[in-house]
């Protein structure tokens, strides 16, 4: 149940007090001393929470005040443990130089040379090769290197100075020192509110996951699997839009109610279900570690579901995932049930190119089924089929885009995904046919597909193209963009059709009297697929940016724990590039300081034995980096000795803004988990010119050994340049645009908080159509009036970056940083809900409080 409490706390800032409060017996003396004990305990808990950047809501404070002293202590300790695990504060972070940043040596080369001399030339019972002292050289444990106590400072260093591997904490070389900086008062803009979870908290959280329409991250799937044991079959909505989530749910309830398998509407849905049953990834990126045998009843159930699907789409879907289905065929044994489920057996016969023998019962059943479907033919004793995708690709290859358009009319989603290709290849006299086809097909298409198509239509060809292939994690590929631009009139017309559909769907939702928007939402990218995203503290879409003050100082942190029996050497590095992506400098294990204080590394640790692990830091002074000609700053995590991240016991990287002390949980701005079979992660990039920090969360391919910036500097610059071209141009759909669609279609009064803090108003004239109103709102044209700053308190919907306002109870609120907004009195929604509510059916549904 602790996992359930952790999910509610991380996703919704709700404290499940029932789960976290231990059972205690209240004795008579506890009741006598209750007033003094409870007040002191509450004060101590509040102080500890504030240092972590949190406050208790009124409801949660009252609940805590009603507990006994032991119960309050148990709740407080459990709550603090969950918050510390979330931020990374649950471990002691000790860098190589414990006095970081003050004691980091200015001359990295001299430090390295001294290490090499001492390691190679020092002999037992001989004077120190560096200082000549005869009594100060002793081995350290467990590496046994001979270390001079005069040349190496045991009060500052936390590891062996020669090999930089962790040593026994009880080794005499390590001396007490650097007790830490006393904590100062936490800035008020960093405080976030914790609320008391109500009895419907689990169901509301499950509903939010089931109703989302963007592919989930690994963390979303994990959270759902944690909550499902508490869910009931009656909670399931009529439709679960995201098929990966649907597979997880069906796998959970299949034993309880076998009929739920009918919710798997395609062969790929069934494949996802099989992966979920085998504890594999239902996103189909990685196969099961090993094939798991299924009960005979389950195999018959699965084959019966396949047998009820239309034969043509069944075979096409299976061919789309040919290798995975061949593996599943070894588990399902389809020919064992061929006479009972001939269509399923037919699909496997086409898939596996089986030599059919008419003399067997299975062969007769399959051939008899094949005779009923003209799209399947027999060639050399084997069944073959020409799929829909093959016919579409063939039409493009043959130079017949008109035929491809006719085929794609049958599948609206595929038509929208191929929209840009069709627009480029169709002759001008067929542009009208394309617009008409899109206008008909778009009503059945997911809003995620529409926003992706809209971004592609509006984005002109640039220097580089980006590709995000589906895989175990997000590896980005780039190439030079040689495409011709779309005809301007066609691009404008297609954009109008796509935006018009989104406005139409928004118009079908309940009306708002007034909306309040923050124009800084333009920095946030529209929600999309999160399949390859790392687990993170904040929920931001790749490509989103946040503003950073010019005088900002940042501290990067990397923490990892290696598995027992295997050394793992991770390196936190920073590369600095100029205006034209020319290399300016770096800070890593080869250079601990760049331009004195511009970049300061805490020192390279080459091992991370459990349970404490190792931590590296890098301090960034953005003003000094700008002064030396830097524009782009790229932090990177390398696995130096080529060990994949998924072998770590634990690993994460993050950034703090102006921390107090070495590790300040209240200052943690973002934290990424190190996961997957990857060895290089670039979590974000900083543009010192636009003063923005943009989330990348991408991995680079790696091969060999000794991964560092010296090897991959060119690749880093190329990938980052492509990311900045795509996401920095402003042509992709932003969260601001999605909020404007909602507001323009659902309200006639819209207040906008500008970047300078002023508030202006847009009023829709009765004669003004929704499309025109939305255009001038999105473009932030001349407003109709100046508004008072408390307009948010009288709005039905609020969309802001920071929750530094006071909406009235019941208001629907999107806030990237909710801060002191109370989840129990407001309908807090996330970016995914804003897009999901624009689903094809346009049915109005109440927001799920997140």
Residue 759 bridge partners (DSSP): 753, 787
Residue 560 bridge partners (DSSP): 614, 651
Q: What is the pLDDT of residues 623-637, one digit of tens each?
A: 999 999 999 999 999
Residues whose CB is less than 8 angstroms from the CB of residue 48 and which lie 6 or more positions away in sequence, other chains included: 76, 80
Indicate if the pLDDT at residue 550 is higher than 80: no
605, two tokens = 């640790």
Q: Which of 516, 528, 541 shows the shortest CA–CA distance to 816?
A: 541
Total number of residues shown for the chain: 850
Give the Cα separation of 320 and 9 in Å (integer): 39
Q: What is the pLDDT of residues 741-761, one digit of tens each?
A: 999 999 999 999 998 889 999
pLDDT average, residue stretch 461-485: 72
Q: Which of 722, 674, 681 shows the shortest CA–CA distance to 700?
A: 681
Give the Cα separation of 626 and 621 in Å (integer): 9
What does the pLDDT read at residue 207? 92
Give the Cα separation of 24 and 743 in Å (integer): 51
Q: What is the pLDDT of residues 235-287, one digit of tens each?
A: 999 889 889 999 999 999 999 999 999 999 999 999 999 999 998 889 888 88
pLDDT average, residue stretch 442-470: 84
What does the pLDDT read at residue 179? 55
CB 271 within 8 A of CB 324: yes
Can you give the pTM of this predicted structure?
0.88
What does the pLDDT read at residue 29? 40
Which range (392-401, 412-421, 515-524, 542-551) has the least confidence?
A: 542-551
Indicate if the pLDDT at residue 841 is higher than 70: no
Bigger pLDDT: 371 vs 530: 371
373, two tokens = 């479907």
What does the pLDDT read at residue 28? 40
730: three-class secondary structure by DSSP: coil
Indicate if the pLDDT at residue 461 is higher than 90: no
Task: Assign 147 a pLDDT band (cuts: 50, 70, 90).
Answer: very high
What does the pLDDT read at residue 466? 76
Buried b (16+ CB within 10 A) or exposed e, 257-274: eeebbebbebbbbbbbbb
Mean of pLDDT over the chain: 88
Task: For strands 749-753 and 382-385, give the pairing.
Answer: unpaired
Indicate if the pLDDT at residue 2 is higher than 60: yes
Q: Which of 638, 635, 665 shows the shortest CA–CA distance to 651?
A: 638
Domains of the chain: 2-87 (no CATH), 100-175 (3.30.40), 209-385 (no CATH), 390-463+482-502 (no CATH), 507-524+733-836 (no CATH), 545-728 (2.60.60.30)
Give the Cα separation of 158 and 386 in Å (integer): 65
Indicate if the pLDDT at residue 838 is higher than 60: yes
Indicate if the pLDDT at residue 36 is higher than 70: no
Give the Cα separation of 601 and 614 in Å (integer): 14
């Amino acid at each position: 149940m602790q996992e359930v409490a952790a999910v509610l706390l991380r996703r919704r800032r709700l404290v499940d007090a029932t789960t976290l409060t231990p059972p205690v017996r209240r004795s008579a003396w506890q009741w006598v001393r209750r007033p003094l004990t409870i007040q002191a305990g509450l004060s101590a808990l509040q102080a500890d929470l504030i240092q972590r950047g949190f406050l208790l809501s009124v409801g949660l404070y009252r609940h805590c005040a009603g507990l006994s002293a032991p119960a309050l202590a148990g709740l407080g300790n459990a709550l603090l443990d969950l918050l510390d695990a979330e931020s990374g504060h649950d471990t002691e972070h000790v860098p190589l130089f414990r006095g970081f940043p003050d004691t980091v040596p200015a001359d990295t080369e001299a430090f390295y040379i001294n290490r090499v001399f001492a390691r190679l030339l020092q002999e037992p019972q001989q004077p120190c090769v560096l200082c000549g002292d005869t009594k100060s050289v002793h081995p350290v444990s467990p590496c046994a290197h001979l270390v001079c106590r005069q040349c190496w400072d045991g009060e500052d260093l936390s590891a062996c100075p020669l090999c930089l591997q962790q040593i026994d904490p009880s080794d005499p070389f390590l001396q007490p020192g650097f007790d830490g900086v006393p904590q100062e008062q936490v800035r008020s803009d960093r405080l976030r509110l914790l609320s008391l979870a109500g009895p419907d908290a689990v169901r509301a959280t499950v509903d939010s996951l089931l109703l989302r329409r963007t592919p989930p991250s690994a963390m979303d799937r994990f959270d759902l699997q944690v909550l499902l044991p508490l869910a009931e079959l009656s909670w399931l909505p009529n439709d679960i839009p995201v098929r990966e989530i649907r597979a997880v749910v069906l796998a959970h309830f299949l034993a309880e109610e076998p009929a739920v398998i009918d919710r798997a509407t395609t062969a790929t849905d069934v494949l996802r279900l099989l992966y979920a049953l085998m504890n594999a990834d239902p996103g189909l990126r990685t196969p099961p570690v090993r094939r798991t045998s299924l009960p005979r009843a389950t195999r018959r159930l699965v084959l019966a579901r396949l047998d009820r699907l239309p034969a043509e789409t069944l075979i096409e879907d299976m061919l789309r995932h040919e290798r995975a289905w061949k593996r599943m065929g070894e588990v399902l044994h389809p020919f064992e049930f061929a006479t009972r489920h001939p269509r399923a057996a037919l699909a496997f016969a086409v898939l596996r190119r089986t030599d059919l023998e008419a003399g067997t019962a299975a062969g007769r059943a399959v051939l008899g089924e094949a005779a009923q479907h003209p799209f399947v033919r027999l060639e050399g004793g084997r069944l073959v089929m020409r799929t829909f995708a093959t016919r579409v690709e063939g039409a493009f290859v043959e130079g017949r885009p008109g035929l491809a358009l006719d085929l794609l009319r049958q599948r609206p989603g595929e038509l929208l995904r191929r929209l840009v290709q069709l627009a480029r290849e169709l002759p001008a006299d067929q542009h009208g046919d394309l617009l008409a086809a899109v206008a008909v097909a778009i009503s059945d298409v997911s809003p995620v597909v529409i926003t992706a198509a809209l971004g592609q239509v509006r984005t002109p060809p640039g220097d580089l193209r980006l590709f995000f292939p589906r895989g175990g994690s997000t590896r980005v590929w780039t190439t030079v963009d040689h495409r011709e631009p779309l005809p301007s009139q066609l691009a404008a017309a297609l954009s109008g059709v796509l935006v018009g559909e989104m406005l139409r769907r928004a118009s079908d939702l309940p009306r708002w009297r007034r909306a309040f928007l923050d124009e800084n939402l333009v920095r946030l990218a529209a929600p999309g697929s999160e399949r390859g995203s790392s687990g993170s503290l904040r929920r931001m879409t790749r490509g989103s940016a946040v503003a950073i003050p010019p005088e900002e100082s940042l501290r990067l942190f990397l923490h990892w724990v290696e598995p027992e029996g295997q050394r793992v050497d991770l390196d936190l590095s920073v590369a600095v590039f100029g205006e034209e992506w020319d290399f300016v400098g770096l800070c890593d294990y080869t250079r601990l300081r760049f331009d004195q204080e511009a970049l300061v590394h805490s020192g390279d640790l080459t091992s991370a034995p459990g349970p404490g692990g190792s931590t590296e830091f890098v301090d960034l002074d953005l003003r000094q980096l700008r002064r030396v000609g830097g524009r782009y700053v790229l932090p990177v995590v390398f696995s130096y000795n080529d060990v994949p991240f998924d072998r770590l016991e634990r690993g994460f990287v993050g950034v703090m803004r102006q921390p107090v002390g070495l590790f300040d949980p209240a200052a943690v701005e973002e934290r990424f988990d190190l996961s997957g079979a990857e060895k290089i992660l670039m979590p974000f990039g900083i543009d010192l010119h636009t003063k923005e920090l943009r989330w990348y969360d991408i991995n680079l391919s790696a091969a060999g050994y000794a991964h560092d910036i010296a090897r991959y500097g060119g690749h880093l610059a190329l990938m980052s340049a492509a990311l900045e071209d795509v996401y920095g141009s402003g042509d992709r759909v932003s969260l601001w645009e999605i909020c404007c669609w909602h507001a323009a279609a659902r309200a006639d009064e819209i207040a906008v908080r500008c970047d300078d803090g002023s508030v202006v108003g847009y009023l829709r004239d009765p004669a003004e159509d929704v499309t025109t109103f939305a255009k001038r709102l999105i473009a932030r044209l001349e407003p109709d009036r100046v508004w008072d700053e408390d307009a948010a308190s009288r709005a039905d919907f609020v969309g802001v970056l920071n929750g530094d306002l006071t909406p009235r109870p019941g208001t629907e609120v999107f806030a990237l940083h909710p801060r002191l907004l109370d989840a129990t009195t407001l309908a807090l929604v996330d970016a995914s809900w804003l897009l999901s509510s624009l689903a094809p059916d346009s049915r109005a549904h109440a927001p799920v409080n997140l």
